[in-house]
A and B are shown apart, each in its own frame.
Chain A
Amino acid sequence: MSHFEINLAMETSASPLDFASSPINRGLSAEQKIDLYRQLTRIRRFETASLKQYNGSKMGGFLHVYIGQESVAVGCASLMGENDHMITAYRCHAHALAVGMSMNECMAELFGKATGCSKGKGGSMHFFAPDKNFWGGHGIVAGQTPLGLGLGYGLKYKGLKGAALCFMGDGAVNQGAFHESLNIAALFDIPIVYIIENNGYSMGTSQARSSAFKDCLAQRAEGYDIDWDLANGSDLYEVRAKVNIAMERARNESRPTVLEIQTYRYQGHSIADSAHKKYRSPEEIQSYKDNHDPLNLWRQRLIKENLLTEESAKKIDTEGKLEADSAVKFAEESPAPTVESITEDVYWETDNTTEASKIGRYFFND
């Protein structure tokens, strides 16, 4: 069964659970639910704008957009408390916005401007906001999985009751670093939730062609005696309900979880991948947009719950678009970093011109 077929099967399964009634969702206020919609639309509008600006040659490098997957980052971020931390791979814009980073600093980073969240030093794949418990933005597939483990280790070491959320794509499950991390997570009882955002394709290779597995990828956790689950990512209620269970396990029992969330990306793996329709059919993409789009589904939910109307939803969407437009303007008008700034932020000592920074040579330029 292909990833896509699994999704369809989930949609049409005989007894779908209604996750709206799970405790973590019952507690949501009308305002909170509407705000979740706002977050979803902001991310889509940001990504749409960034794609347009990329195509207008306003930025360099890669651009991995998140359109289609928004419910995952938004649902997870909405569960984070003071001692919960987040780390992800290179498709990181949504996570950054979801934890509260501004569109301005994110767009400026894409443009390579000094006002970017990393002063133009990180780029699309490397957004960070430690003050919001967001630790990147990492470019190497699965390279962040041991770091996430370390965030959990740090929480436990300090005696804090929290969870580390470590995101990864379905392609990352075959990297050794991930398996090493799972072993240590179970062995050391680390409060971590590994979230496999399964969009069905590791770059241009489908799940069936890249991974050996029995029923699903998360099931591999069984070999490490780690709890696992599978969630339908197009339903924000389900994402929140299942991620919350895993986070509570981390907080209360200091035990890890592997949670696979089925989702889908509408665009290519990255901008270099504009011919992404070669490895999947246009019908498959269209069907997901028509039947599984997380924004549409959430909007319909809230309309059904009498919390939104088509008009008020449209207004929220327009606000997101205006915010993204304004971020583009901010990025465009921002100054570029200076050449002098290239050697800043390399060493703590030299940045702080400490006594130690005056001992010995740190940089070896001409």
Chain B
Amino acid sequence: MREIEYRDALNEAFDEELARDENVVIMGEEVAQYNGAYKVTKGLWEKWGDKRVVDTPISEAGFIGMGIGASMLGIRPVMELMFWSFHSVAFDQLVNNAACCRYMSGGLINVPIVMRGPANGGTNVGATHSHTPEGLFAAFPGLKVCSPATPADAKGLMKTAIRDNDPVYVMENTTLYGMKAHVPDPADGDFTIPLGKADIKRVGSDISLIAHGASVLRCLEAAKILQNEHGINAEVVDLRSIRPLDQDAIIDSVKKTNKAVLVDESKPFCGVSAQIATLIQEYAFDYLDAPIKRVCTIDAPAIYSPYVEADQLPNAARIVKQVLTIA
């Protein structure tokens, strides 16, 4: 079985889509000649040249707005934010122009862009570089948001995002770029994963751990501990896509286990998990045997200190502790 890194799975997605559609353009800071700040776009410029893989100046509002404008004419820019944290300098482009042009034109305009890059904490880069804005952008109708946790999901979701006719914001993770796992061989056919489809990463019966992105991996670690040390059989639901959202997968799991802990690297206030909690209370209220609990990033700007940053984020120990309050 073929195993490749998360970054190479993304690279493969870009390469395949560049080949499939002449309107696909990779754009961003250092994505071409430098091979990408995290080597996610390595080799693509050499293979596809200046027209298809474009280095931009450090000018997020400028080049993202340019990509949006070009997409109105049918170009499909796949634009990298070196960190999703840098969204703030291009916010008008990301939420007014990308999310609202279709609506304000009564459906006459499409904005088929992909915005991508890492959105995560845990690398000791401080508050300005550690934002996780998936819940923020999912709050803007017109945008789609996904957050893959594995190399296969990263490739499959990215290919779907590039083919989508609306703006899709893909939140990757610097701590996952080096993760190696199975990704289907391109020789076995076109591999895509639909947006809006969750994946049960571990089947269980006693409690539902619902997460996205790297938190899914923390849940899997916690599930092992819960099984081995406490005899609790946890189910891990990987949302993969935040909007559209696989509500059925969430509700089905909670109906089965009757308990839920939501694990979310967003901050607790109005984070993705807050939305999931309201859906569970609305659609599975009678099935709940305990209050819904959450494990979010501790509610402060991201701390730098390598001594404690890991404890600010959801981790296996915090998840286990929270599960034991209701299990």
In contact, B25 and A157 (Cβ under 8 angstroms): yes
Query: Which chain A residues in 117-153 approach chain B with CB under 8 Å?
Result: 117-122, 126, 128-131, 135-140, 143-153
A360 within 8 A of B: yes
Bound Cα distance from A70 to B64, whole angstroms: 32
Q: Can you name the residue of chain B whose Cβ is closest to the Cβ of A348?
A: B165
In contact, B104 and A356 (Cβ under 8 angstroms): no
Given contacts A143-B93, A361-B247, are A348 and B66 in contact (CB under 8 A)? Answer: no
B322 within 8 A of A: no
A30 within 8 A of B: no
List residues of chain A with CB within 8 A of the CB of B312.
Answer: none
B62 within 8 A of A: yes
In contact, B141 and A128 (Cβ under 8 angstroms): no
Of B69, B106, B110, which one neighbours A147 at CB under 8 angstroms? B69
In contact, A360 and B104 (Cβ under 8 angstroms): no
Stretch at the interface among B150-158, B193-201, B214-222: B193-201
Given contacts A360-B196, A363-B141, are A184 and B66 in contact (CB under 8 A)? Answer: yes
In contact, A148 and B69 (Cβ under 8 angstroms): yes
Given contacts A128-B109, A360-B241, are A136 and B69 in contact (CB under 8 A)? Answer: no
Bound Cα distance from A123 to B69, whole angstroms: 21
B75 within 8 A of A: yes
Q: Can you name the residue of chain B whose Cβ is closest to the Cβ of A359?
A: B196
Of B62, B101, B164, B247, which one neighbours A360 at CB under 8 angstroms? B247
Q: Mark B42-79, 1 if CB is under 8 A from A, else 0.
A: 00000000010000110101111111111111110000
Bound Cα distance from A146 to B73, whole angstroms: 14
B186 within 8 A of A: no
In contact, B66 and A181 (Cβ under 8 angstroms): yes
Bound Cα distance from A158 to B25, whole angstroms: 12
**Distance between A79 CB and nearest chain B CB, rounded to angstroms:** 19
In contact, A348 and B105 (Cβ under 8 angstroms): no
In contact, B244 and A184 (Cβ under 8 angstroms): no
In contact, B57 and A183 (Cβ under 8 angstroms): yes
List residues of chain B with CB within 8 A of the CB of A177.
Answer: 61-62, 65, 92-93
How many B residues touch A, CB cutoff 8 Å?
52
B30 within 8 A of A: no
**Distance between B52 CB and nearest chain A CB, rounded to angstroms:** 10
Given contacts A143-B96, A348-B166, A356-B194, are A187 and B106 in contact (CB under 8 A)? Answer: no
In contact, B62 and A184 (Cβ under 8 angstroms): yes
A61 within 8 A of B: no
Query: Which chain B residues in 78-129 approach chain A with CB under 8 Å?
Result: 92-93, 96-97, 101-110
In contact, A146 and B51 (Cβ under 8 angstroms): no
Of A145, A151, A346, A347, which one neighbours B70 at CB under 8 angstroms? A151
B213 within 8 A of A: no
Query: Which chain A residues in 16-73 approach chain B with CB under 8 Å?
Result: none
In contact, A140 and B96 (Cβ under 8 angstroms): yes
B32 within 8 A of A: no
**Distance between A268 CB and nearest chain B CB, rounded to angstroms:** 24
In contact, A122 and B105 (Cβ under 8 angstroms): yes
**Distance between A356 CB and nearest chain B CB, rounded to angstroms:** 6
Given contacts A138-B97, A363-B141, are A119 and B69 in contact (CB under 8 A)? Answer: no
How many A residues touch B, CB cutoff 8 Å?
57
In contact, B96 and A183 (Cβ under 8 angstroms): no
List residues of chain B with CB within 8 A of the CB of A130.
Answer: 72, 105, 108-109
Query: Which chain B residues in 133-186 approach chain A with CB under 8 Å?
Result: 141-142, 144, 164-166
In contact, B245 and A360 (Cβ under 8 angstroms): yes
Given contacts A129-B108, A146-B93, A150-B72, are A359 and B194 in contact (CB under 8 A)? Answer: yes
Of A85, A135, A345, A348, which one neighbours B106 at CB under 8 angstroms? A345
In contact, A364 and B275 (Cβ under 8 angstroms): yes
Bound Cα distance from A60 to B247, whole angstroms: 37
Given contacts A140-B96, A346-B141, are A151 and B244 in contact (CB under 8 A)? Answer: no
B212 within 8 A of A: no
**Distance between A175 CB and nearest chain B CB, rounded to angstroms:** 9
Bound Cα distance from A131 to B56, whole angstroms: 30
Q: Mark A94-121, 1 if CB is under 8 A from B, else 0.
A: 0000000000000000000000111111
Bound Cα distance from A346 to B25, whole angstroms: 24
B311 within 8 A of A: no
In contact, A361 and B66 (Cβ under 8 angstroms): no
In contact, B65 and A147 (Cβ under 8 angstroms): yes
Bound Cα distance from A54 to B141, whole angstroms: 30
In contact, B69 and A151 (Cβ under 8 angstroms): yes
Q: Can you name the residue of chain A whose Cβ is closest to the Cβ of B242?
A: A360
Max count, chain B CB within 10 A of own CB: residue among A85, A157, A180, A348: A180
Of A135, A146, A351, which one neighbours B66 at CB under 8 angstroms? A146
**Distance between A163 CB and nearest chain B CB, rounded to angstroms:** 13
Q: Can you name the residue of chain B whose Cβ is closest to the Cβ of A143?
A: B92
A324 within 8 A of B: no
Given contacts A356-B195, A356-B196, are A145 and B107 in contact (CB under 8 A)? Answer: no
Of A122, A146, A351, which one neighbours B68 at CB under 8 angstroms? A146
List residues of chain A with CB within 8 A of the CB of B110.
Answer: 348
List residues of chain B with CB within 8 A of the CB of A333.
Answer: none
B259 within 8 A of A: no
List residues of chain B with CB within 8 A of the CB of A335.
Answer: none
List residues of chain A with CB within 8 A of the CB of B92.
Answer: 140, 143, 177
Bound Cα distance from A129 to B107, whole angstroms: 11
Query: Which chain B residues in 270-317 approach chain A with CB under 8 Å?
Result: 275
In contact, B104 and A184 (Cβ under 8 angstroms): no
B255 within 8 A of A: no
Taking A154-B69, A157-B70, A360-B247 as known contacts, 8 extra A-B pairs with beta carbons closer than 8 A to each other, sorted by chain A number, are A119-B106, A143-B96, A146-B68, A150-B73, A157-B25, A181-B62, A349-B165, A359-B196
21 A-B pairs within 8 Å (CB atoms) are namely A120-B106, A126-B104, A128-B105, A128-B108, A135-B72, A146-B63, A176-B61, A177-B61, A180-B59, A180-B61, A187-B57, A346-B102, A347-B102, A348-B165, A348-B166, A349-B165, A351-B107, A359-B195, A360-B245, A360-B246, A363-B141
Query: Closest 8 CB pairs between A and B?
Result: A150-B69, A360-B196, A146-B65, A180-B62, A360-B244, A154-B73, A345-B107, A147-B69
